[in-house]
Amino acid sequence: MRGPDADGCARPLRADAERNRRLILDVAARVFAERGLGATLNDIAHEAGVGVGTVYRRFADKDALVEALFETKFATLVWLARAAEVAPSAGEGLRAFLWGAAEARAGDRGLAQVLAGGGAPGAEASRNREMLHHLLEDLIGRAQAEGSVRGDLAASDVPMFMLMIGAVADGTHGVAPDAWRRYTQLVLDGLAPPAAREPLPGPPLDLAAVFHAMQDAPA
């Protein structure tokens, strides 16, 4: 565990550091997703097989780690938006994006929080955010031109959509892991122009599940 690398270099490479950084991000993503942002850095470090100190060497503090995670996750959204750009129609693209974003958010307990913690200062993050915003503006604009989405929808409604779906997903995670689909559909129907409506997927929750969901929601 202390010896030189297999590649023959005695001094630890910059690559080691990067490897550790990725490892920590991956583990943190998993642990935060499973247990919420309340998980301790000690746990994450332990589960990654490194010392806490190492985590602090890579990330100034817990918030910085969350921020970094945010950027990682953000890439997924950008990727989804790019995919949506080339969809047969803007409406289909937008719907696919929203379903994808909701799904990405769903299995990720506490990641509304991660996506949220966005981190004020990161220039990169800002650029990403803006880029995504523009992609969505474009997508929505085209969909509106097609008449496949209501005219008063805005790109900034998308993060709110994710906030909403995230709240449901976090709450129902555990008793009804697919419940987010129902509410995604419900909101999507609200986004759609009149008359384009899908039946809600999945059955409604029973009382106990609702109770559980709301209990769990705070995270």
Partner DNA sequence: CATGAATGAGCGTTCATTCAT
Partner DNA sequence: AATGAATGAACGCTCATTCAT
Q: Which residues here bind DNA, judged by CB under 7 A?
A: 1-2, 12-14, 16-17, 19-20, 38, 40-43, 45, 49-54, 56-58, 60-63
- To 5 degrees, how large is the angle CA 46–CA 110–CA 133? 120
- CA-based radius of gyration for the chain: 20
30 lies in the site for its own copies, by CB under 8 A: no
Torsion of CA 170, 174, 180, 181, to 10 degrees: 160
Residues numbered 143 to 162 that lie near its own copies (CB under 8 A) are: 150, 152-157, 159-160
> Of these partners, its own copies, DNA, none, which one is at the site of residue 178 (CB under 5 to 8 Å by kind)?
none
Binding mask 108-147 for its own copies (x = CB under 8 A): --x-xx-xxxx-xx-------xx--x--------------
DSSP 8-class letter at 54: H
Residues numbered 35 to 94 that lie near its own copies (CB under 8 A) are: 36-37
CB-nearer residue toward its own copies: 58 or 182: 182
> Of these partners, DNA, its own copies, none, which one is at the site of residue 156 (CB under 5 to 8 Å by kind)?
its own copies
Dist CA 140 CA 138 (whole Å): 5
210 lies in the site for its own copies, by CB under 8 A: yes
Q: Which residue is it, tokens 């709240």?
A: 167
CB-nearer residue toward DNA: 43 or 138: 43
Dist CA 29 CA 47 (whole Å): 12
Give per-residue burial for 110-136: e unless 16+ CB within 10 Å, then b.
bbbbbbbbbbeebeebeebbeebbebb
Interacting stretch for its own copies, rule CB under 8 A, among 21-29, 79-87, 99-107, 178-186? 178-186
# residues near its own copies by CB under 8 A: 61
Structural tokens at position 195: 């008359």
Question: In degrees rounded to 5, what are phi and psi of residue 174?
Answer: 115, -45
Structural tokens at position 183: 């509410």
Q: Enumerate binding residues for its own copies (CB under 8 A).
A: 36-37, 110, 112-113, 115-118, 120-121, 129-130, 133, 150, 152-157, 159-160, 163-168, 171-172, 179, 182-183, 186-191, 194-197, 199-200, 203-207, 209-211, 213-219
